């Protein structure tokens, strides 16, 4: 029966693959130079040994059976032979067969466990092969950073971009337009089995057209060629099946290759496009049927793009959300079907409704966090601080703070609902039951969640203004132009607003406190130095939250 489950899942996973015509007629391919990147210069024995020393030993082996702990403990011995193997593989563009086979573990997503479409195939591949994938990935990332290859609208699997940067940037534009009295339509698009359906020939055309070095392109092409996989369920295996399309989920190179494949999705689109891996949003202000027609035209362009590049939209999961009181509530077509209208979407794990209210998100994360906390209370007998606190900080608090700079609560009831979770958690520690909350926080060396959000706002804003997010920050914020001698030189314009929802947005709520920070704090030369200066300032000013009257009078 177990073998049957593995076969059923393997059959389903292979049924979604994309087939391509034998040639690529109609697609222009630029042959890259053979000297863009010097292989011998950027793959060294020292780097291989360093990567071996940082291999995660708690991960499982691939089909070749080589455990990562063996590689880690023998790093000094095997670095030289692996260096020679890697160099030869890159020069020849040939990938060993063992690096092109995978044991697939079905990862349950949601829905009925009896339906194979509710599982994601995660590939366990050779750990040795992943080491070379990591080397190639890092060099390709350097190349595309120098040449600005990846669009700013892509936030997935990119350095210094995240779910939070995607949400902040996209809904900043939506909220600005709503605050200006305009209506906005947002279309949420969902690709069907996106990673598994990437056509290999078309992917290679795109890689060569961006100018990647010839040997790198040949290596990736060979790495994708003649791949096979089998599904593993409870220790039993399905038969081997050929993998004719897609980039392996669970591989090191897969996410980057998908980003490069989908990178031209926004070309020719007039509406705002926002992408996180395969999660795509399309946004436009709507004041007339002409505006709706323009958005429909952009949607049709995306439909044509998907057809040309052998991708498919899951129309049933694609939705439109109408924002604004005066919205004309236009209908939109995708693949001949009218898109469903949604009042609330879960966007990158965060609930967003057509009022831009965050109450549902606050309630959702508080409920999840409380459930986990209950499991800890019931399952762990010890009430020792050194056991309870690490469990809370690693298993509970992340639920309350994921992307919180985007959805931070504004209403007092929402703020209290989140804080109650930490109040409850601190009472679990032995000896803290009868103490008030502030004393418990002090003895356990914790901040309130409200103060952590404020502190997180300032750290995030530092990254946007002076740190790694500066390219994104230039779009979100405007610097003051006056020549006042008081205050630091990175003061920002405080934007006015009309809607109460707008007041709670990160780009609005954080600016006044940022402008009030001392110059020596803002001028810190690193994030860690900024944190130290910020903590000292908050303590000296006794600032616990945005409602503090010392800052907001």
Residue 552 has a pLDDT of 44
- Whether residues 317 and 336 fall in one domain: yes
- Whether residues 186 and 205 fall in one domain: no
461 class by beta-carbon count within 10 Å (0-12 exposed, 13-18 middle, 19+ buried): buried
Q: Report pLDDT digits (tens) over 248-280.
A: 999 999 999 999 999 999 999 999 999 999 999
- Whether residues 319 and 402 fall in one domain: no
Residue 481 has a pLDDT of 75
- Whether residues 77 and 20 fall in one domain: yes
Task: Specify if 158 maps to a domain.
Answer: no
Task: Specify if 433 maps to a domain.
Answer: yes
Which range has the top average pLDDT, 40-44, 376-380, 540-544? 376-380
Interatomic CA distance for residues 498 and 507, integer angstroms: 15
- Whether residues 180 and 216 fall in one domain: no
Which of 394, 438, 401 is closest to 418 using CA atoms?
Answer: 401
Task: Specify if 366 maps to a domain.
Answer: yes
Secondary structure (DSSP) of 303-315 = HHHHHHTT--B-G
Task: Specify if 248 maps to a domain.
Answer: no
CB 464 within 8 A of CB 473: yes
- Whether residues 21 and 114 fall in one domain: yes
Which of 430, 450, 454, 453 is closest to 440 using CA atoms?
Answer: 430
Task: Specify if 421 maps to a domain.
Answer: yes
Q: What is the 3-state secondary structure (H, E, C) of 283-303?
A: EEEECCHHHHHHHHHHHHHHH
**Segments forming the whole domain that contains residue 282:** 164-192+261-353
Q: At what angle do helices 527-541 and 449-465 cross, to 10 degrees?
A: 140
Interatomic CA distance for residues 205 and 182, integer angstroms: 41
- Whether residues 214 and 319 fall in one domain: no
Task: Specify if 137 maps to a domain.
Answer: yes
Task: Specify if 396 maps to a domain.
Answer: yes
- Whether residues 88 and 117 fall in one domain: yes
CB 282 within 8 A of CB 294: no
Q: What is the pTM of this model?
A: 0.91
Q: How many domains does the chain have?
A: 4
The pLDDT mean for the chain works out to 92
Which of 116, 109, 121, 125 is closest to 5 using CA atoms?
Answer: 116
The terminus-to-terminus CA distance of the chain in angstroms comes to 69
- Whether residues 135 and 185 fall in one domain: no
Interatomic CA distance for residues 455 and 510, integer angstroms: 10
CA dihedral defined by 282, 286, 288, 293, rounded to 10 degrees?
0
Bridge partners (DSSP) listed for residue 340: 319
Interatomic CA distance for residues 440 and 448, integer angstroms: 10
- Whether residues 82 and 129 fall in one domain: yes
Query: Is the pLDDT assigned to residue 480 strictly greater than 90?
Result: no
CB 125 within 8 A of CB 248: yes
């Amino acid at each position: 029966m177990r073998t049957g489950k593995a076969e059923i899942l393997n059959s389903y996973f292979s049924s979604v693959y994309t087939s391509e015509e034998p040639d690529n007629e109609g697609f222009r391919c630029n042959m890259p130079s053979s000297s863009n990147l010097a292989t011998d210069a950027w793959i060294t024995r020292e780097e291989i040994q360093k990567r071996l020393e940082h291999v995660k030993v708690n991960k499982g082996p691939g089909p070749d059976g080589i455990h990562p702990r063996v590689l880690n403990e023998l790093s000094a011995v095997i670095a030289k032979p692996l260096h020679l193997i890697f160099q030869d593989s890159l020069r020849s563009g040939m990938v060993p067969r063992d690096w092109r086979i995978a044991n697939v573990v079905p990862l349950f997503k949601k829905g009925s466990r009896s339906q194979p479409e509710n599982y994601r195939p995660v590939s366990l591949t050779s750990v040795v092969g992943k080491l070379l994938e990591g080397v190639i990935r890092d060099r390709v990332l350097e190349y595309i950073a120098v040449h600005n290859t990846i669009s700013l609208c892509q936030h997935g699997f990119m350095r210094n971009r995240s779910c939070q940067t995607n949400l902040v940037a996209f809904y900043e534009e939506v909220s600005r337009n709503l605050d200006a009295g305009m209506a906005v339509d947002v279309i949420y698009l969902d690709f069907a089995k996106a990673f598994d359906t990437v056509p290999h020939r078309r992917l290679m055309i795109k890689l060569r057209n961006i100018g990647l070095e010839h040997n790198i392109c040949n290596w990736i092409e060979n790495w994708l060629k003649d791949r096979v996989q089998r599904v593993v369920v409870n220790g039993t295996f399905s038969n081997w099946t050929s993998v004719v399309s897609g980039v392996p989920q669970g591989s090191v190179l897969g996410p980057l290759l998908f980003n490069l494949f989908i990178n031209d999705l926004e070309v020719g689109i007039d509406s705002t496009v926002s992408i996180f891996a395969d999660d795509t949003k399309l946004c436009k202000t709507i004041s007339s049927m002409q505006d709706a027609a323009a958005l429909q035209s952009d949607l049709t362009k995306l439909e044509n793009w998907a057809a040309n590049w052998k991708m498919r939209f899951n129309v049933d999961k694609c939705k439109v959300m109408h924002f604004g009181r005066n919205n004309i509530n236009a209908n939109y077509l995708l693949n001949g079907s009218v898109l469903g209208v949604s009042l609330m979407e879960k966007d990158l794990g965060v609930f967003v409704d057509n009022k831009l209210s965050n109450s549902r998100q606050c309630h959702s994360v508080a409920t999840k966090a409380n459930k986990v906390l209950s499991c800890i209370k019931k399952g762990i007998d010890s009430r020792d601080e050194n056991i309870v606190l690490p469990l809370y900080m690693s298993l509970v608090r992340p639920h309350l703070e994921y992307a919180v700079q985007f959805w931070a609560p504004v209403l007092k009831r929402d703020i209290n609902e989140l804080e109650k979770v930490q109040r409850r958690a601190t009472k679990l520690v032995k000896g803290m039951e009868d103490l008030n909350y502030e004393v418990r926080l002090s003895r356990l060396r914790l901040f309130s969640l409200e103060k952590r959000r404020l502190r997180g706002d300032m750290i995030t804003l530092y990254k946007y203004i002076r740190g790694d997010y500066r390219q994104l920050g230039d779009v979100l914020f405007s610097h003051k132009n006056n020549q006042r001698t008081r205050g630091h030189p990175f003061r920002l314009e405080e934007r006015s607003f009309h809607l109460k929802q707008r007041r709670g947005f990160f780009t609005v709520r954080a600016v006044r406190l940022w402008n009030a920070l001392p110059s020596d704090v803002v001028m810190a030369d690193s994030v860690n130095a900024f944190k130290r200066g910020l903590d000292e300032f908050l303590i000296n000013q006794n600032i616990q939250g945005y409602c503090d009257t010392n800052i907001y009078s």
